[in-house]
Chains A and B, each alone.
Chain A
Amino acid sequence: MSATALFGQLLLGLINGSFYAMLSLGLAIIFGLLAIVNAAQGAFYMLGAFIAWMLFQYLGIGYWASFVLAPLAVAIIGMILERTLIRRVYNLDHLYGLLLTLGLFQIIQGMFVHWYGTSGQPYDYPDILTGGHNLGFMFLPTYRAWVVVASLIFCFGTWYAIEKTRLGAYLRAATENPTLVRAFGINVPMLVTLAFGGGVALAGLAGVLAAPIYQVNPLMGGNILTTVFAVVVVGGFGSILGAIVTGLALGVLEGFSKVFYPEASNMVIFAVMIVVLMIKPAGLFGRER
């Protein structure tokens, strides 16, 4: 096998891994504050890609503007859903949150399948990121390099914002004891809405980044959701950094298996999940709850 193929697959694995990382990072933030596993996370990923595609298709708005607008739109949609529907299940068993967001997932995905069918829509690279560089051992397409860099920046930016800033301190404190944080004069319900918006915006952003690599397909959210769930089970919900590392590592591992044993590439993450569950049921970075 050629080194080019190997590194190409590894790069693609790294890209997928950064999408897993962004989605599971968003899930972890939302889970921390709302104690809800947001099953609609996959739908928000798909929405990010589709909004970018629609902005171009219907309004002629290009990639760079969509890079900002699409995650923002996803965040707004998410926050509206949080305010109107999801908020109502906070005091119920956590499974109801999962079921409710699963319902929302079905609605969102179902509407797009109904309107656009299940065949993908192409979305072009931005001009400035076409082409690539020959690194000697592999050909590096510029856009793919950009995706890796951009997602790493956003992942670690999110980590920094949560661990090192004042807003992040509010978030961590509210995860522990929301009532007391309110008693200090902080509007926690608003914080929760914003965190939900931020968490789904990460998925939306991953969707925009993914749009030119994969086609924009209404089913893309469902496909990634199960994998991301497996990533979350492997990593546990304990730490932000854990979510990022697990996502990236499993993506790369998946890339590797595509080179050596392509038939099993879909299975490898689930296999890892099973092994981890047998050894460390709470996940690699998780705390037993």
Chain B
Amino acid sequence: MLEIAGLHGFYGESHVLHGVDLSVRAGEVVTIVGRNGAGKTTTLRAVMGILQKRSGSIRVMGTETIKLPPERVARLGVGYVPEERGIFASLNVTENLMLPPTLAPGGMTTEEIYRLFPNLKDRAKSQGSKLTGGEQQMLAIARVLRTGAKFLLLDEPTEGLAPVIVQQIGRVLETIKERNLTVLLVEQNFRFAARVSDRHYVMESGKIIDAIGRSEIAGKMERLEEYLGV
């Protein structure tokens, strides 16, 4: 689904990604963990094509995308949920939900989405600026589920949210797995990540420094805590 090899990325003059290698197979949920500033979000932005100064190789579903603009990457069937949620303040909930164009058949219908996120239905006419953090996050995930994207990039979906909401998002991710979608997740909340992910990559200073499979987690917990500085 995704193969990244030797990815370098730059913000202006500063070199942020130093040769990232990772891969995600179809149907997997893979998490990138790491401290703040390790380059996790930048990696997602590079995959999406939002980070323009990048080199190396990014293959999405077999297509080389290192030179493609974001809209072409999205059209391959990639759904992006940015760290800051990216809810449009001047659009209401329904408009936000319906904004991303359909990328492929098989996306969730509006009814399915409202069943999964009941409070979005209640707030259908509210402006995007009036939503709570949790509602914004729900909406940000919901709107990419509608598009039929087969591969989702989720950037810190639990950041700054109450435990109840984190649990709800956990259930959403389970639904996503049931629908056999592929997910690349960036997460600081390792307990959340451990619950939903098949594999983990550990990132530090713009590089992948370790890869941990699901079965190894228990044994490697100590090492992980060291990486994350918990």
Q: Do A and B associate with each other?
A: yes
| CB of A175 closer than 8 Å to a CB of B | yes
Closest to A177 in B: B86
Provide the B70-81 mask, 1 if CB < 8 A to any CB of A, else 0: 110111000010
Which of A166, A176, A182 has most B Cβ within 10 Å?
A: A182
How many angstroms from the CA of A83 to the CA of B88 in the assembled complex?
27
Closest to A178 in B: B70
B91 contacts A172, C-beta separation under 8 Å: yes
Provide the B56-73 mask, 1 if CB < 8 A to any CB of A, else 0: 000000000000011101
B95 contacts A187, C-beta separation under 8 Å: no
A172 contacts B101, C-beta separation under 8 Å: no
Give the residue of B74, B88, B100, B103 whose beta carbon is less than 8 angstroms from that of A176.
B88
How many angstroms from the CA of A184 to the CA of B75 in the assembled complex?
8
A172 contacts B71, C-beta separation under 8 Å: no
Give the residue of A175, A181, A187, A188 whose beta carbon is less than 8 angstroms from that of B90.
A175
Given known contacts A166-B98, A169-B98, A188-B71, is B88 in contact with A183 (CB within 8 Å)? no
A185 contacts B99, C-beta separation under 8 Å: no
| CB of A179 closer than 8 Å to a CB of B | yes
Smallest CB–CB gap between A122 and chain B, Å? Answer: 45
Which of B48, B99, B101 has most A Cβ within 10 Å?
A: B99
Smallest CB–CB gap between B85 and chain A, Å? Answer: 10
The total of Cβ contacts below 8 Å across the A-B interface reads 60
| CB of B50 closer than 8 Å to a CB of A | yes
B88 contacts A172, C-beta separation under 8 Å: yes
B88 contacts A185, C-beta separation under 8 Å: no
A185 contacts B50, C-beta separation under 8 Å: no
* Contact partners of B99 in chain A: CB under 8 A: 169-170, 173, 181, 184
Within 8 A of A (CB), among B100-154: 100-101, 103, 147
| CB of A180 closer than 8 Å to a CB of B | yes
Smallest CB–CB gap between B147 and chain A, Å? Answer: 8
Closest to A176 in B: B88
Smallest CB–CB gap between A8 and chain B, Å? Answer: 41
Given known contacts A166-B98, A169-B95, is B74 in contact with A184 (CB within 8 Å)? yes
How many angstroms from the CA of A184 to the CA of B49 in the assembled complex?
11
* Contact partners of A166 in chain B: CB under 8 A: 98
* Contact partners of B89 in chain A: CB under 8 A: 176
A177 contacts B71, C-beta separation under 8 Å: no
How many angstroms from the CA of A185 to the CA of B48 in the assembled complex?
10
| CB of B6 closer than 8 Å to a CB of A | no
Smallest CB–CB gap between B105 and chain A, Å? Answer: 15
How many angstroms from the CA of A114 to the CA of B108 in the assembled complex?
61
| CB of A186 closer than 8 Å to a CB of B | yes
B50 contacts A179, C-beta separation under 8 Å: yes
Smallest CB–CB gap between B54 and chain A, Å? Answer: 15
How many angstroms from the CA of A184 to the CA of B101 in the assembled complex?
7
Which of A175, A186, A188, A189 has most B Cβ within 10 Å?
A: A186
A169 contacts B91, C-beta separation under 8 Å: yes
B101 contacts A176, C-beta separation under 8 Å: no
* Contact partners of A189 in chain B: CB under 8 A: 69
Smallest CB–CB gap between B89 and chain A, Å? Answer: 6
| CB of B170 closer than 8 Å to a CB of A | no
B70 contacts A182, C-beta separation under 8 Å: yes
| CB of B27 closer than 8 Å to a CB of A | no
How many angstroms from the CA of A247 to the CA of B89 in the assembled complex?
26
Give the residue of B82, B86, B91, B103 whose beta carbon is less than 8 angstroms from that of A185.
B103
Smallest CB–CB gap between A176 and chain B, Å? Answer: 5
How many angstroms from the CA of A181 to the CA of B86 in the assembled complex?
9
Smallest CB–CB gap between B222 and chain A, Å? Answer: 37
Given known contacts A179-B50, A179-B70, is B100 in contact with A172 (CB within 8 Å)? no
Which of B73, B75, B88 has most A Cβ within 10 Å?
A: B88
* Contact partners of A179 in chain B: CB under 8 A: 50, 70
Smallest CB–CB gap between A166 and chain B, Å? Answer: 7
A177 contacts B48, C-beta separation under 8 Å: no
In order of increasing CB-CB distance, the 4 nearest A-B pairs are: A185-B74, A184-B100, A182-B70, A180-B86
Which residues of A does B touch, CB under 8 Å? 166, 169-170, 172-173, 175-177, 179-189
